[in-house]
């Protein structure tokens, strides 16, 4: 990313509590480019919310710098940062109408009254809440989805350099959430704004964003595209956080061929696997997703012998539970070979670049 395009550049950001005993955020770097939406994904307590609050200026970092459009804003109060924040609770001012809510930021910026009127109207059109119909309503007269639209319009109308989203979908039901995610993404692309989306929901994070940053215990574990972090996870936590995964321990390395290695697992299976950056060492893990393994009725030549334990059919997927030399693994398939029946033998194959060597 060249310097012109970088909107937010966070370097070495840390936040300690209780005199350094607790490191909520531990030396993290995040960059967000123009028109890019980056998700910070992690379980609750991983430091993602603290990170977001520090970027917004609502919390002070213990160390590190926050650069916005080339200016150091680390010590600026939130009201001088020009960073928008859409709250989880939406935080619509209950004593103001929809119009007054959306106009609030512009009034704070002392924008001329007629300009406020036209910009508020345009912002409400953007989120499909026409001013004529919704302008005079108050927060208690709006649904959850409408509240979110008001919150979005109120943030976007001030044209912030960066917009932060704090789990704004968490309060909505599943269907509305999917719908709003698509819409939010469309608006973000249309306006070309830079955004950070903080969430613990991996599904929303991967569908919403250009890049996903995985956090745990105050650290960034991996920063990459949604495909990258799913298919090429850095460690066990990332693997497991992004969905179902089979994990086997590595006992020995038999052969190395470029970034591919033939490894022997703890339960004496030899298989080819690919590492992300480092080569495998005993004690590391090999991981593969259930949909990336294939089951065969006859040995295709390099298959791993497997015993079928059970099969379930759910949502168009057959979920096989199979035993490979004492380890139970899950395999998904969309079609079934009639010859593979419960209790019988089958052979399992995994592409070398789909079984990944990951840190424990």
Return residues touching another protein (CB under 8 A).
56-58, 77-81, 83-85, 87-89, 91, 93-95, 104-105, 108-109, 138, 140-141, 154-155, 158
Closer residue to another protein in complex, CB, 159/353: 159
**CA 56 vs CA 53, 86, 182: distances in Å:** 5, 11, 24
Query: CB 37 → another protein: shortest distance, Å?
Result: 18
- What is the distance, to the nearest Å, from the Cα of residue 344 to the centroid of all Cα atoms in its chain? 40
Full 3-state SS string of 277-292: CCCCCCCCEEEECHHH
Closer residue to another protein in complex, CB, 83/215: 83
**CA 139 vs CA 146, 170, 314: distances in Å:** 9, 18, 41
Query: CB 359 → another protein: shortest distance, Å?
Result: 37
Closer residue to another protein in complex, CB, 5/107: 107
Query: CB 200 → another protein: shortest distance, Å?
Result: 18
Q: Please, which residues have CB within 8 angstroms of residue 83's CB and are 6 or more apart in sequence? A: 55, 56, 57, 68, 73, 160, 161, 162, 163, 164
Closer residue to another protein in complex, CB, 104/291: 104
The full length of the chain comes to 360
Closer residue to another protein in complex, CB, 162/357: 162
DSSP 26-47: EEEEEEEETT-EEEEE--TTSS
Query: CB 100 → another protein: shortest distance, Å?
Result: 10
Task: Centre a 10 Å sphere on the Cβ of residue 143 and count the other Cβ atoms it contains.
Answer: 10
Tokens encoding 47: 């430091």
Query: CB 303 → another protein: shortest distance, Å?
Result: 56
Question: Which residues does residue 31 pair with via DSSP β-bridges, in sequence order?
Answer: 9
Nearest one of 104, 92, 195 to 144, comparing CA atoms: 92
Query: CB 87 → another protein: shortest distance, Å?
Result: 5
Closer residue to another protein in complex, CB, 5/80: 80
């Amino acid at each position: 990313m060249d310097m012109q395009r970088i909107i937010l550049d966070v370097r070495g950001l840390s936040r300690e509590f209780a005199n350094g005993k607790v490191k909520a955020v531990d030396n993290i770097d995040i960059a967000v480019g123009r028109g890019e939406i980056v998700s910070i994904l992690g379980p609750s307590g991983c430091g993602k919310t603290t990170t977001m609050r520090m970027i917004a200026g609502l919390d002070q970092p213990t160390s590190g710098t926050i650069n916005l459009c080339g200016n150091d804003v680390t010590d600026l109060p939130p009201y001088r940062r020009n960073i928008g924040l859409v709250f989880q609770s939406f935080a619509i001012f209950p004593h103001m109408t929809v119009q007054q809510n959306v106009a609030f930021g512009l009034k704070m910026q002392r924008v001329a009254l007629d300009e406020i009127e036209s910009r508020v109207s345009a912002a409400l059109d953007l989120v499909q809440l026409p001013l004529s119909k919704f302008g005079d309503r108050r927060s208690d007269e709006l649904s959850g989805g409408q509240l979110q639209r008001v919150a979005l319009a109120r943030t976007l109308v001030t044209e912030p350099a960066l917009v932060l989203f704090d789990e704004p979908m968490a309060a909505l039901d599943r269907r509305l959430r999917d719908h709003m995610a698509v819409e939010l993404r469309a608006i973000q692309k249309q306006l070309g704004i830079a955004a950070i989306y903080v969430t613990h929901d991996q599904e929303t994070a991967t569908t919403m964003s250009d890049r996903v940053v995985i956090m745990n215990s105050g650290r960034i574990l991996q920063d990459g595209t949604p495909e990258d972090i799913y298919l090429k996870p850095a460690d066990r936590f990332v693997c497991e956080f992004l969905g179902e995964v089979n994990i086997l321990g590595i006992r020995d390395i038999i052969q190395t061929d470029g970034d591919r290695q033939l490894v022997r697992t703890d339960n004496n299976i030899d298989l080819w696997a690919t590492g992300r950056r480092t080569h495998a060492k005993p004690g590391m893990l090999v991981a593969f997703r259930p949909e990336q393994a294939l089951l065969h009725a006859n040995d295709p030549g390099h298959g791993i012998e497997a015993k079928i334990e059970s099969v379930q059919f759910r949502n168009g997927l057959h979920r096989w539970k199979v035993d490979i030399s004492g380890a139970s693994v899950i395999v998904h398939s969309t079609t079934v070979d009639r010859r593979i029946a419960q209790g019988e033998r089958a052979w399992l194959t995994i592409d070398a670049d789909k079984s990944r060597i990951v840190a424990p």
